[in-house]
Amino acid sequence: MKLPPQAVQSTYYGRGNYRTPPPDLPSLLLNERIVYLGLPLISAVTELIVAELLYLQYQDPDKPIKIYINSTGTSRYDGEPVGFETEAFAI
C-alpha cells in the first residue's frame, strides 16, 4: 500500500543553503521579501499584493521589501488598456 505524499517542512538559510529541499517559488520569493506582480491588475491580484505587503510589514517593519513589476497594466470595461503612460515612463 502506497502512502500519500507528505509535505516536508523546508528551512531556507538564504543564498542557496537549504536543510531540506527548497520550497515552491512563491514561498521562496515571499521568504526573501520579494513581491512579484506578473498579472494584469484586477481586484483579486491587487488584494493579494496588498496582503503580501501587509504580511511582510508585520513580519519585520525594518527590513526592505523588493517589488518586481512585469504587468500589462489593466483595462477598462470597454477593453481600452490603461497604464501605457507608466510603461513608457519605466522604459
Q: What is the DSSP letter of 5?
A: P
Topology given in CATH for the domain delimited by 25-90: 2-enoyl-CoA Hydratase; Chain A, domain 1 (3.90.226)
Structural domain boundaries of the chain? 25-90
Question: What contacts 57, CB < 8 A, 6 or more positions away?
Answer: 65
Q: What is the pLDDT of residue 2?
A: 55
Helix/strand/coil for 1:
coil
Q: What is the pLDDT of residue 42?
A: 83
pLDDT tens across the length of the chain (91 residues): 555 554 455 555 555 555 665 578 888 888 889 999 988 888 888 889 999 999 999 999 999 999 999 887 776 665 555 555 555 444 4
- Please list, residue by residue across 45-63, b when 16 or more beta carbons sit within 10 angstroms of its beta carbon and e when fewer do: eeeebeebeeebeeeeeee
Q: What is the pLDDT of residue 7?
A: 47
